[in-house]
Amino acid sequence: MNLILLFSNDFLDGSTRVRLSDRRFLHAKTIHQVKLEDSLQVGLLNGKMGTGIVTKIEDTFMEMDVTLETPPPPPLPVTVILALPRPKVIKRVMIAMTSMGVKKIFLINAYRVEKSFWQSPVLSKESLDLHCLLGLEQAKDTLFPEITLARYFKPFVEDTLPEIIKDTLSIVAHPKANTPCPAHVNGPVTLVIGPEGGFIPYEIEKLISCGVKPVHIGPRILRVETALPFILSRLM
Amino acid sequence: MNLILLFSNDFLDGSTRVRLSDRRFLHAKTIHQVKLEDSLQVGLLNGKMGTGIVTKIEDTFMEMDVTLETPPPPPLPVTVILALPRPKVIKRVMIAMTSMGVKKIFLINAYRVEKSFWQSPVLSKESLDLHCLLGLEQAKDTLFPEITLARYFKPFVEDTLPEIIKDTLSIVAHPKANTPCPAHVNGPVTLVIGPEGGFIPYEIEKLISCGVKPVHIGPRILRVETALPFILSRLM
């Protein structure tokens, strides 16, 4: 946690003082071992960042006097459309994407996505929100991403995708593509990433017919958690 | 497993036939559900890649007739020097680095590396080897990386580092650096990555005095498993 993310209801009525008693308090207390008058980096969810001076520490809560003055870092102009990974990986991938500044994330179905993955409690709003918060706290950012689950591939591609990719460079990472992944794209990108084992030919064809271009990142096949930062870095 | 990695002792005397009965056999049987005459991608450790045609499947082993003709993908010309991450992360990071083609890896101590991490069974030769094999099998590569553990920071920097960074561009990822991380370096690189919380000023000074240049990757602080692919992609 490189930044403590604050919510508007953390503030004591109309003041610049916050009181924390949850996970954030425990982390500050046990990991950072905060003391009175320590200065911690804080940020208001979807707002500015600044510092919090610790004014009170009790057994079950702490209070800080907060000043917010700097804007969060700019978002990454990339929309990521990701075939739903296995639950263990979703957590890490949500943290990774959020920490890199991705603000629009679609988790979609594909033939090689195991049906059981959609039942995972990791996909609950609470769990997805938590992992996004962890990513923002890691990266020192406050802008919460928008996450959409799309359980049906075909209607997603036919009805939703055209609107998403409009006015963006839209690509799908595909090991069999002939074109290398573009670098330093000076503008918004839509990046589609398939499941373990890749999209099946029907799915690639559907994406292509919608205007998405298959690209490769070389002869190596990377796991999604490695491929994502590898490609996002290349695009920037 | 996108490629089955073979060892010279898998081959039946002087033949092109291999017999597998371990983890690789179980994976092929249960995940890939191989059948007689299936063609699987294989590679000889530190040698060529090709195909194996399944010639026999029994309860406890399978045999393949192997043809090896294509060279593995070129290595990444980057030496990675990494402050030892927590054990859970080491596994993933070894797989990630190996899958991206890193062939020289140093795991070093730093002030903010918890002492207990060095006691982890993940650092046993068997465990490190296994995670490197998983990375090679993931990426379809055969060239095994060289891994060195350096438990003492000061002697490592003073005695070993000068030889490593000779004739390479040597950089350390450091959020407080003034210079951005270089991109598209056309030559060998030595990349140093600190622990969670970063190197302490003394360590950064030691690295600088040895000729290593601090660079940043923007305002966001990334976890090591995200930072590594992000930076390696940028360097290439």
**Residue written as tokens 């083609």?**
B101
Mean pLDDT of the B12-27 span: 93
pLDDT for B193 equals 98
Amino acid at A224: V
Mean pLDDT of the B77-103 span: 97
In tens, the pLDDT along B28-66 reads 999 889 999 999 999 999 999 999 999 999 999 999 999
The CA distance from B193 to B203, in Å, is 12
pLDDT for B14 equals 84
The pair of structure tokens assigned to B149 is: 């553990």
Domains located in chain A, CATH noted: 4-70 (2.40.240.20), 76-235 (3.40.1280.10)
Q: What ipTM describes this predicted complex?
A: 0.94
Global pTM?
0.95
Q: Are B192 and B161 in contact (CB under 8 A)?
A: no
All residue ranges of chain A with pLDDT < 70 are: none
pLDDT at B160 over 90: yes
Residue A223: list chain B partners with CB under 8 A.
95-96, 99, 138
CA distances from B120 to A127, A137, B91, B114, B127 (A): 29, 28, 11, 11, 10
Helix or strand run (H / E) with residue A41: strand A39-44
pLDDT for A51 equals 98
pLDDT for B1 equals 86
Residue A138: list chain B partners with CB under 8 A.
221-223
Chain A residues within 8 angstroms (CB to CB) of chain B: 2, 73, 92, 95-96, 99-101, 138-141, 218-223, 225-234
Q: How many CB pairs under 8 A join A and B?
A: 88
